[in-house]
Structure 1
């Protein structure tokens, strides 16, 4: 999304500062399942700093010995700005974060989570309610991932705002995916919704993921979205402009992407990332060709969009995430890591934190 002139004052940061080192990636192919509720605080909020165990093995058809799971994290009623950490219960938080949250706005994401004895733990820096849904698991057969240079599949500002109740579709050609694809990695930006509402995204004719947004401020979330040969469809209950950017396609002929020990590959604080850009090491194990990252962006006094790409490619036209002024967003991004060097740039100065969660 378009932004305005840069400012220089940095927002308060709410992502942890320590990281670990990645281990070797595991099996790396994925079996998608019908969404199944794995955890719900049920009105008893997280106690800040206290780990909560989430058992995934045995839920929704996930084998007890699955090395990894694909999960939706859906916080609500956050008491203050903060962050959520996903980690091995035996070792405790490793300093990486999976989602930043702010009160009064959409706070959801999807991620690939390493499982230890069928479970992982979540620790929050602030009180919040949370639901966790499992939508897939890692196995030795199924869909792999093919990263792409970030592609803009939809920008309603080029046509007309979505009206309340309207459905729009993105064909496989718009998504940049071949027929037979199982899913796409997508970042969705909702620009200044006119009222509180709900947004649905999923395979056309299939079951969508429905998330709730609030009026006014632009909001961003990302997901591994199921697709089919009809493409991906979206619906909004309120009028809103929508931007959808794609970073990967998931299909059976694509390469493996296995969970690793989460590790921090960039923390730009306090200096930030500038429009002039910077280069970082991908942080993936030797021989990896793709990486899955959690990208947290903390905008300063000016809205900013972030571009992230393999340095061997040209800078893409489409961004991987966007943050309104004095706000923070989290995106799940798939990137080609051939050569081991990633480039990133912003449209206005911003702080950026990147954690690696899977590689293949």
Structure 2
């Protein structure tokens, strides 16, 4: 019944451009039926993963409609809170299943996917239509500062462990959990300060894209779809994470590859398509804002939320990322900084970003972490 309500509430206002993605909603009942019929786990895993793609789009559409009806300040806060709702739900479900390796990898993978895959496709495809894509270098510098700060915060615990020579995993967790909690608290404070900067004191610096359009749905309808979509995302995430072990065994994927590459793509597909669409419309500033805002939110909001939430299930999540994850993250941020710092980009730089992402994906597929 919940699926029927979602479809009936949504499909009428969808335009032709948005319809193909939302046809994937058929995988919601398909995944549930396959699960109830006890078919091989790989099929349930794949269909539940495909179901998450349109559900993430529904969450995004509902959040944007609700935000548009509440004014710029409340709307900005709603977008800042629910902008990565799918990733938050998947992360919480994975924490409940004690998949700490997958959680850490997916947090890093979401940032890498944003700054390499999404920015790369945006610059590549937008660059084919426009000789040169331009955006505000001042705004780019603000994003760069925030992302650099987040990377430094994520690097610190790993550097501490190496310098303190804590060889035992239990000792690492005991030493790093208080540190992780304090760092997470600081990140949340800085994230709030960044929102105040973007929504109040320096709102004029940030692109608004098409926010002047009327909301697609009423506030009541958007609230219902937001709630219903979140429930279904939680259900599909339970199927996806619950069958992760047998599915990875069949696919010959390691957990690091699944977290860094597979899960972020499924959870971010709808948002990725929006950023690329904006670039095709020669609105690279909006694409960059989507990429940067999502990356900053993952590092400075979703990661702290995951750390604090892990205590609920007594599965403490420290921010002790592996060396390979941190190297990949640092590389991604550095090359992204180099490309966006001058306020312009073109298709070749997009291809280079995609090349780096492909190299990282291949490496983690064969080597893992």
The higher relative CO (CA closer than 8 Å, separation ≥ 6) is in 2
Task: Tell whether the structures are fold-level matches, with TM greater than 0.5.
Answer: no
Task: Identify the structure with the greater helix proportion.
Answer: 2
Greater Rg over alpha carbons, structure? 2
TM-score bucket (shorter structure): under 0.3
